[in-house]
Amino acid sequence: MTTWYIESGPEADVVISSRVRLARNFENYPFPSRMNSGQELKVLEITKDAVLNCEGGKKFTFFALKTMPQIDKQALVEKHVISRELAESKRESGVIISNDEKVSIMINEEDHLRIQSLYPGMQIDNAYKLCDKIDDILESKIDYAFSQNYGYLTCCPTNLGTGIRASVMMHLPALTMTGYIRNVLEACVKLGITVRGLYGENSEASGNMFQISNQVTMGLTEDEIIANVTNIASQIVEQERNLRNRLYKSDPIRIEDKVYRSLGLFTSARIISSEESLRLLSDIRLGKDLGIINNISTEILNEIMLLIQPANLQKAAGRILNPDERDVKRAEIIRRKLGYS
């Protein structure tokens, strides 16, 4: 089965993926930061029973984080299936993942439940519909902590109300190259939008990848939040496309040189770091989207973007690698995937 992070979705030239996450808590239990191990285990069991025994439950698998090897945890972080916080948690925590990895339910992270759905391209509406469907199944079996005044109660006050976080991962090389990205970031803040890096909060924008998401979860309905993020993301897509075309039209040789230099290094290197490979991959993706490169599919680029990450790289190798070995293996995988081995 093709997983979501390899597929190509709508507006794939700029939008890599869409994600919706809902924060929920059990009514009669303390927040995870105040629970004892017995309560943590009880929340795990109740959630497992609610999902795995529902209609369609066979499409999901439960994983206990305490017994999961660290390399497997990190691989799930790199796929954006779980958060770094859950991977590093010392609690009795777990995750329920659908077979296609579009849905994950994180248990005992910052909140009792973090229900998330991921889709390729610009599909926030679809991600929310799927998330909402899972939420309804859980709410039919679990009493959520809910206030008539404040909405869904969450550990962090910034998630109160709807508990929804809608985000879009975007590739913005033209805005970054020209420096206009600063104007976009400033405008986003004024509009209640947060901009983060490749792995969300406290991460850098590697490979010109930026994640935009809503700041406000209270005072607006879920549909209004989804519409707001979609509208702003669509405007950024339009700006990025216009700027790419202007750059290419004004100096095609320079852009083509940049793309082909990166492609040459990408397909010939014997040693390559994660940071350098993401930078080169950004140039190649730009060349693909401008029509300069026609023999590499978006799906292959998406697959390479995942495989070059440290944990997934080591899983592909079948063993733990030191940093130097990872750089050699990364170059080998890139050449093989692009047919240059």
At 202 the pLDDT is 46
Domain boundaries, the chain: 15-241, 252-337
Convert the pLDDT of each residue in 4-21 to its tens digit.
777 889 999 999 999 999
Q: How far apart are CA 121 and CA 19, in angstroms?
A: 10
Convert the pLDDT of each residue in 114-161 to its tens digit.
999 999 999 999 999 999 999 999 999 999 999 999 999 999 998 999
Convert the pLDDT of each residue in 285-318 to its tens digit.
999 999 999 999 999 999 999 999 999 999 989 9
Return left, alpha or beta for 161; rule: phi > 0 is left, psi -120 to 50 is alpha, else beta. left
Beta carbons within 10 angstroms of residue 69's beta carbon: 11
Convert the pLDDT of each residue in 253-269 to its tens digit.
999 999 999 999 999 99
Place of tokens 């039919």: 140
Domain 15-241 has CATH 3.40.50.300: no
Percentage of the chain beyond pLDDT 90 is 88
DSSP string, 123-134: -HHHHHHHHHHH
Is residue 196 very low, low, confident or very high in pLDDT (cuts 50, 70, 90)? confident
Where do runs of H (alpha helix) occur along 92-212?
124-139, 173-178, 181-190
Q: How far apart are CA 258 and CA 253, in angstroms?
A: 9
Q: Based on C-alpha coordinates, what's the Rg of the chain?
A: 21
DSSP string, 31-49: -GGG--HHHHHHHHHHHHH
